[in-house]
A and B are shown apart, each in its own frame.
Chain A
């Protein structure tokens, strides 16, 4: 593993430890960020370290006292980590989603850590409403003020544009790697790709950009094995799937060529317009990106997740789709039947894997994945013949 990737891995696996070191080094504030559409640029412009809060590898224990077991693993883990004191180094949390489970989690965090400010500014979810832009501008203006109050100093428009520029560069770097993987120009595992994106969610962006530059300079360009079955990963809209699942997929003769995962393409696919006043850039970024990559948690007529996936699977020359559905994720449960129907109709092999925070029976899962890979391979062979 390259030193750059090793540094990213450390931050991705121990984000709160990384944040604590950063805070000790800089003397600045660390702001936790809850998924899934809330931008980190403003917090960065305020001089803070925005850290997207992740689930961790610990089983949920003390958290059980404050959350039902029919909530998704991310929410249960966030509550558990709060109660274990993992987030005690945060100076604030900001978010704006309407996920009903996440709203409950935020209330538990507030109850458990009453001195931790939660900057809640709910984003407009009807993206094509004629009031959406006005409302979204207002949301970010309010956040701007609240971050100024938190840090005690003014956030300039220039600093915000500079943060936007940095984040755009960071996203572009990762997109470039995605494209190279899609075109078969580099061999990079799904696990490592997840590490790269996940570390960008928790690290100082400037540091991450520098690490990416180093990574590119040392990364060997080599053609991938043509015998692998190419697959596209979809789902996990708020946190990363367990790396062991991606390993199991790739150890079964499949090669991940693209994804729409949150800790993946979903997080990096859209940039902000650096030429706009920053508040407008933030608002347009939020409102427009759903047309590029549909999210089932937003209401917008004329966009279809399944159509996007069909098109992306074709563009990526993937032979099959693996859907990673987080158990109890309601938006995914609503939209999955249409995805399945569309892929069945198109004759593209597809596999649903329901994931949980704990207790994923890996051996049984491997058998299912191996069977799927065989089916996808045979179908591809028949098609080629």
Chain B
């Protein structure tokens, strides 16, 4: 009888997904340098006040070159939330947000960030207390409060409202500057990717706001903005962006030498790390490792059989988990909307003598800021370029900016003979992720791709 009871005990999966071949993703080694850069960056943030530097909190697009060129320290709310989620340290922050009444259907980046703000304030109000016993708290306590808030969110209204709340949580006293990066709807007859009247009008509109941003920074620091320094900073970023794109292009090789998940962990150097030689070195290293893998025929996934495209925002709780998940069915996620259609992906637009217009244009072409026809057209180009067999849509529960149009994206994939599937998850709230649903759907997708090959 006792053994029967034991037999009925369900064995729960361990820390790795129990699925498929059991193979792990063959991650790039060169990306480890990024961890050092990220740690150095956060240490610089934590030391900002001691070094007498002013701190900007910002959300949205990759706007730090303006802060870097003006000797400011910057805190990216999304990066902070993503880091907490990637290190599985987000739950307490989200619980604090819940406690104040922020509904769990609200953007989990924002809930994590706002919740952490509230924890910080609780601590500031308390004299010691239980919160200090949490080892995570030590790092959090170092996060300096903002001297300025800058919001520059393309497409997503939730992003703008998030910073409005940040402004309010800090007592409505911190100077705030909000940049509007309008949607490129693409409804006029001359509309196209980076072309047409709307494109030119909107580029100028955002560029003008960026000039205003420099005046805002001047007004709140008492120092003149150095445009030459901005050009220098953008020189490094442009070079790094070119190297990144060259590395991505090499992933057309079979097997693909790097995967979407390698590009995911390479977002920080393009998104918010300082524009200096380090990011050039980072992408030089990545590119060289990719080149070597191409030379020897080493893939990011062992025995690559299927090539996939990832649509949607990253599930930051599950980066390694998902990388292994796909590797276990010999599927390499080669490219994605979030990685390949963002983060200075049009570096040729940046004129280093006068970079602002090109910067504005790169902000405008972020991965969801086009109306669906043009955006899906760009996705299809990537799918053709990388010879994609199927599209995986991550329906991120609280990131509607990235779930918009996913049914149309899936429809387009099927129209061009590619498999498409959805799985549920979220950017920073693990409770929305359902592993077994992904297992079943991924197995079905693999079966369908296999059947199609057999039939061909």
Contacts and interface: CB of A to CB of B under 8 A. Distances in A.
A131 B160 contact: no
A107 B405 contact: yes
Given A126-B178, A301-B176, A334-B162, A110 B373 contact: yes
A361 interface: no
A100 B158 contact: yes
The interface residues of chain A, by DSSP majority, are classed as: mixed
Interface string B391-429: 000010110110111111000000000000000000000
B241 interface: no
B100 interface: yes
B212 A107 contact: no
B161 A296 contact: yes
A331 interface: yes
A122 B405 contact: no
A120 interface: yes
Interface in B95-153: 100-103, 105-107, 110, 151
B116 to A, nearest CB: 16
A144 B96 CA distance: 48
Nearest to B172: A301
A107 B371 contact: yes
A135 interface: yes
A330 B407 contact: no
B404 A122 contact: no
Contacts of B180: 124-126, 129, 135
Given A120-B185, A334-B161, A111 B102 contact: no
Contacts of A103: 155, 183, 404
A330 B106 contact: yes
A108 interface: yes
A175 interface: no
A335 B178 CA distance: 18
Interface residues of A, number: 45
A328 interface: yes
A65 interface: yes
A164 B158 CA distance: 32
A337 B164 contact: no
Contacts of B165: 334-335
Interface string A94-108: 000111110110111
B400 A299 contact: no
A70 B105 contact: yes
B185 A297 contact: no
Given A107-B404, A108-B408, A330 B161 contact: yes
B101 A101 contact: no
Given A100-B400, A129-B178, A336-B103, 14 more contacts: A68-B395, A100-B156, A103-B155, A103-B183, A106-B185, A110-B372, A131-B212, A296-B164, A297-B161, A330-B158, A333-B103, A334-B106, A334-B158, A336-B101
Interface of B: 100-103, 105-107, 110, 151, 155-158, 160-162, 164-165, 167-168, 172, 176, 178-180, 182-183, 185, 187, 205, 208-209, 212, 371-373, 395, 397-398, 400-401, 403-408
